[in-house]
Structure 1
Amino acid sequence: MTTTDSTTLDAPAARAAAAPDAPARTYPVLRWLVAATFTVILNETVMVNAIPRLMAQFDVGARAAQWLSTAFMLTMAVVIPVTGWFLQRVTTRQAFTVAMSVFGVGTLVCALAPTFPVLVGGRVVQAAGTAVMMPLLMTTLMTVVDERDRGRVMGNVTLAISVAPALGPALSGVVLAAAGWRWLFGLVLPVVVLVGAAGLRRLTDVGEVRASRVDWASVVLSALGFGALVYGLSRVGEEHPGAVPAWGWALGGVLVVAGFVLRQRALTRRSEPLLDLRALTHRTYAVSLAMQSLAFLTMLGAMILLPLYLQDLRGLSPLQTGLLVAPGGVAMGLLGPVVGRVLDRVGARPLVVPGSLGVLASLAALSRLAEGTPYVLLLAVQVLLMVSLAALFTPAFTLGLGALPAHLYAHGSSLLGTAQQVSAAVGTALTVTVLSWRSAQLAAGGAGEAAAYVGGVRAAFSVAAILAVGVVGLALLLPNRLPPTAGLESGAGAPAAH
């Protein structure tokens, strides 16, 4: 990729943009971006409780119905790696307009879908808009907010990035109890229009636009690699694997992703890559990325396992399940700003270390579930898990992206979004595989249906708890604060001008 205008907003300029009078001028930008991001990310998990009803409506099987979630996740994995290049090429207002317009069109298609394939297509369009919004929010935040204020602001952003997926199943349960599934999209559409219109009236462009050519070979490798990887992982546990089994798709995806990485390294030496992997050479960012990915994996695993346990074994309705898990998401959102203020005051380690231990403790407790575990105990453990994740995500976002020079913000945000989608796919695949394998093993040994199912759930949570040990280890590697020179170094390579 050849850069025709290498002007970019460096770290000193970013701090200048966050001068004492900047909050009144630039922070409203973040307010509307957060509102838009919350709206679009909420839809990633809002279909979870609607799948049984859609199976009956469109006369499709469970395998086909899962495409409503798989297609969304797959599209995100394909589109996000391209957003690093895209966000450097267009203005903030242009990127916001594209993201909200595409998402709005997808929402309208879903609301009016006459057939199941059209509904899946609408989900794909929705995901394409969502994939642009989160990197746009993170890149803008790192550009306009002064380092001393990032913890507080990032705490508010946590509401959109981490809480929206947690609240999706609860919201869908409430809507489905009162109305049809089309209202899951019908209620969102006017919100999208209002947030989009209000945001465009108030948004100002941040940073400099750099015209550049896209490396189409990288785009193809990215789409094929991440697409095949996420698709393969999402199919793990299917009874009818098809001509190419799930692990065949996943392995093929890994190999193509390796080719994508090699091409990005080659482009780095010659011009500018589609996704600048030099962000990974910054130790704090790399550790933060790894910790967030692992924590996100365990969170998605718990979000899948608990509804399955509550509905399939305990017999709760989707609405009852949503109401039971909702307090955890609400607590996570309310705690976000508090965590941000504490981060600004005392640093990261007093948050991430207890947070990682809380994740480990809650998953270990869930690994001891029984057929009659009291609901109040389930509620308490789930709230502990979400609160602990809130203590992790805000400092990790702030430290990780703050460690990068300004010209890598967009690429760092894209890497983070891609890692989250892959982690979601891995978490889903791991959960389904362990649950199915252990349940079948216990049933073959003579256990009853309920006992076998509980054993599978406990095994899946046990694996998640083992992975949480890695979260603790990575949390211990994060610094308490960034050094004064963080984000200023050019050793990772500024964009080359040609």
Structure 2
Amino acid sequence: MNEASQIKVKYKVIPVLVALLLGGFIGLLSETMMNVALPVLMEKWELTASTAQWITTGYILVVSIIMPVSALLLQWFTTRQLFTTAITLFIAGTLAAGFAPGFEILLVGRLVQAAGTAILMPVIFNTVLTIIPPAKRGTAMGMVGLVMMVAPALGPTVSGLIVDKLSWQWMFWGLIPFLIIDLIVGLLNIENVGQITKPKIDVLSLLLSTIAFGGIVYGLSSVGEGEGGWGSPVVVLSLGAGIVALVFFILRQLTMKQPVMNLRAFKYPMFTAGTLFIVIGFLTIFSTSYLLPIFMQGSLTLSALYAGLLMLPAGLINAVLSPIIGRSFDKAGPRILVIPGVIILAAAMWMFTGISMETPVNRIVLLHCCMTVGIALTLMPAQTNGLNQLPRELHPHGTAIMNTLQQLASAVGTALIVSVMTSGQKEYLRTHTGASAQELAANSLSAGVHNAFILAAAITLIGVIAGFFVRRSVIPGSDPGAISGAGTKKKAV
């Protein structure tokens, strides 16, 4: 009996993937849904912008704290236990948020939701790597990529429609039926796919990890709040404590026999390359998802709902492309996808630097779609290729590293973009006078967005260079012919 047949007998692959991907989709959709609703909540409960922002900042912070220890969770608990815990937490958090009488309960609900998402995402990756044969992982990871890219992109559009037509509570109430269905499907089909080794828990590593990743993400998330920017005491202290703790965390992991996060995964070059593309890709995604709605609303004076709808075509394109790219990866490998992908991504980002208040909206949408095509061609193939190179015992650690750096890249990207955009706005206002306040505000925002896109575009050039060094991974312990598409061995998988 070949490997594929064995997997079909042991695991109900399709129902398992449906349960995991539906849960992941809801979690990532929720991560970006609240942005459009913040003004409504600020008016309802008389909140300041910095207080209301905790609804999204707190979500990212919890995910960033739990992600680094996900490898440990995967070695202590079964796949079924982690899935059940994740979805149960998400249901509890969603109910609390939906029926919240005030901001405090809403925030608690969001933090519980975030804990569910942080537990579930590594389970998705580790399960795919375990139950899907190497020669078919590209197709499966294409579906994972669809969830990771489309769900955050749909968040603002869905929430904009709900806030415009219903009440903000429906952003939570509407999720409950899907979560209950997801929990039932998972309970009926998910079994354990990993090896439970229950390694010793190093409390110091957990403490250092919490301070490191929590401090860095909190510090970066605080850059745009208040007047201090990067010089704010909160930012300086948080980043300082986080960076110091991160250094000690890394040193400790490199000297432990059973580290919480095994950084030796970086000795595999394609994994390192895949991680680099994760950082560049999510930095680009989050910076663009921040800049474009602000530009369309502030400089082009479009409504929040219209701006959200204009972000939708790129998400739909990604939904169509991700499965196709996954199958192409299985047949042709990463190079033929990654190299054109990073070139398209870099070209689109550089063209974004030329947008202004005179730029037609359809051109902005077209550039956003091109950027999405570049991301789709690059991210999933590089990520799958990198994880494929790791031996099975490093799969939980590899997914933990990639998911953690994804969160850090999102926070770093947003902080850098906010900082550069704000500096550009101030410089414009300092050197331009004589126009009306409304005109100055729109023009200064346009100037700030221009500078921010220059930074984002420059970062993508690193990916262009790295793309030419990507090679197809040889799966540890396997025959290279079985995964290269050569001969009949590919058919036997």
TM interval, shorter chain, is over 0.9
* Aligned twin of 1:287: 273
- Between the aligned partners of 2:43 and 2:201, the Cα distance in structure 1 is 44
* Aligned twin of 1:432: 418
Aligned length: 472
Q: Is 2:345 the partner of 1:356?
A: no
Alpha-carbon distance change, 113 to 277 in structure 1, aligned in 2, over 3 angstroms:
same
- Map Cα deviations across residues 155-204 of structure 1 (whole Å, 9 max, x no partner): 11111122111111111111111111111111012211111112211222
Equivalences for 1:135-284 in 2 at 5 Å?
A: 135-241=122-228, 244-268=233-257, 272-284=258-270
* Aligned twin of 2:474: 483
Cα distance, 1:93 vs structure 2: 0.7
SS of residue in 2 equivalent to 1:72:
helix
- Between the aligned partners of 2:162 and 2:89, the Cα distance in structure 1 is 24
- Between the aligned partners of 2:219 and 2:5, the Cα distance in structure 1 is 44
* Aligned twin of 1:338: 324
- Between the aligned partners of 1:488 and 1:218, the Cα distance in structure 2 is 37
Cα distance, 1:213 vs structure 2: 2.7
Q: Are the counterparts in 1 of residues 277 and 383 from structure 2 also a CA contact under 8 Å?
A: no
Cα distance, 1:266 vs structure 2: 2.0
Alpha-carbon distance change, 435 to 23 in structure 1, aligned in 2, over 3 angstroms:
farther
Cα distance, 1:487 vs structure 2: 7.6
Partner AA of 1:250 in structure 2: L
- Map Cα deviations across residues 255-280 of structure 1 (whole Å, 9 max, x no partner): 11111111111223xxx111111111
- Map Cα deviations across residues 5-63 of structure 1 (whole Å, 9 max, x no partner): xxxxxxxx9x8476474597334312221111111111111111111111101110111
Q: 2:391 aligns with which of 376, 384, 405?
A: 405
Cα RMSD for the two superposed structures? 1.9
- Between the aligned partners of 1:238 and 1:259, the Cα distance in structure 2 is 29
Cα distance, 1:238 vs structure 2: 2.6
Cα distance, 1:88 vs structure 2: 1.3
Q: 1:51 aligns with which of 15, 18, 38?
A: 38
- Map Cα deviations across residues 90-138 of structure 1 (whole Å, 9 max, x no partner): 1111110011011111111111111112211111111111001110000
Q: Are the counterparts in 1 of residues 391 and 475 from structure 2 also a CA contact under 8 Å?
A: no
Cα distance, 1:302 vs structure 2: 0.2
* Aligned twin of 2:314: 328
- Between the aligned partners of 1:108 and 1:441, the Cα distance in structure 2 is 45
Unmatched runs of 5 consecutive residues or more in structure 2:
434-439, 481-493
Q: Is 2:452 the partner of 1:460?
A: yes
Alpha-carbon distance change, 487 to 231 in structure 1, aligned in 2, over 3 angstroms:
farther
* Aligned twin of 2:353: 367
Alpha-carbon distance change, 484 to 182 in structure 1, aligned in 2, over 3 angstroms:
closer
Q: Are the counterparts in 1 of residues 341 and 374 from structure 2 also a CA contact under 8 Å?
A: yes
- Between the aligned partners of 1:197 and 1:20, the Cα distance in structure 2 is 22
Of structures 1 and 2, the one scoring higher in RCO (CA 8 A, sep 6+) is 1
- Between the aligned partners of 1:262 and 1:315, the Cα distance in structure 2 is 50
- Between the aligned partners of 2:430 and 2:469, the Cα distance in structure 1 is 43
SS of residue in 2 equivalent to 1:48:
coil
- Between the aligned partners of 2:441 and 2:277, the Cα distance in structure 1 is 36
SS of residue in 2 equivalent to 1:49:
coil
* Aligned twin of 2:294: 308
Alpha-carbon distance change, 96 to 285 in structure 1, aligned in 2, over 3 angstroms:
same
Q: Is 2:462 the partner of 1:470?
A: yes
Cα distance, 1:251 vs structure 2: 2.7
Q: Are the counterparts in 1 of residues 271 and 390 from structure 2 also a CA contact under 8 Å?
A: yes
Kindly, what percent of the aligned residue pairs are identical?
A: 34
* Aligned twin of 1:103: 90
SS of residue in 2 equivalent to 1:351:
helix
Unmatched runs of 5 consecutive residues or more in structure 1:
1-12, 490-498
Alpha-carbon distance change, 372 to 172 in structure 1, aligned in 2, over 3 angstroms:
same
Partner AA of 1:297 in structure 2: L
- Between the aligned partners of 1:407 and 1:232, the Cα distance in structure 2 is 33
- Between the aligned partners of 2:6 and 2:326, the Cα distance in structure 1 is 20
Cα distance, 1:226 vs structure 2: 0.5
Q: Are the counterparts in 2 of residues 18 and 144 from structure 1 also a CA contact under 8 Å?
A: no
SS of residue in 2 equivalent to 1:483:
coil
Q: Is 2:118 the partner of 1:128?
A: no
Q: Are the counterparts in 1 of residues 93 and 109 from structure 2 also a CA contact under 8 Å?
A: yes
Cα distance, 1:143 vs structure 2: 0.6
TM-score, normalised on structure 2? 0.92
Partner AA of 1:76 in structure 2: V
- Map Cα deviations across residues 322-380 of structure 1 (whole Å, 9 max, x no partner): 11000101111111000011111211111111111111111111111111211110111
- Between the aligned partners of 2:256 and 2:477, the Cα distance in structure 1 is 25
- Between the aligned partners of 1:456 and 1:135, the Cα distance in structure 2 is 36
Alpha-carbon distance change, 27 to 314 in structure 1, aligned in 2, over 3 angstroms:
same
Q: Are the counterparts in 2 of residues 402 and 486 from structure 1 also a CA contact under 8 Å?
A: no
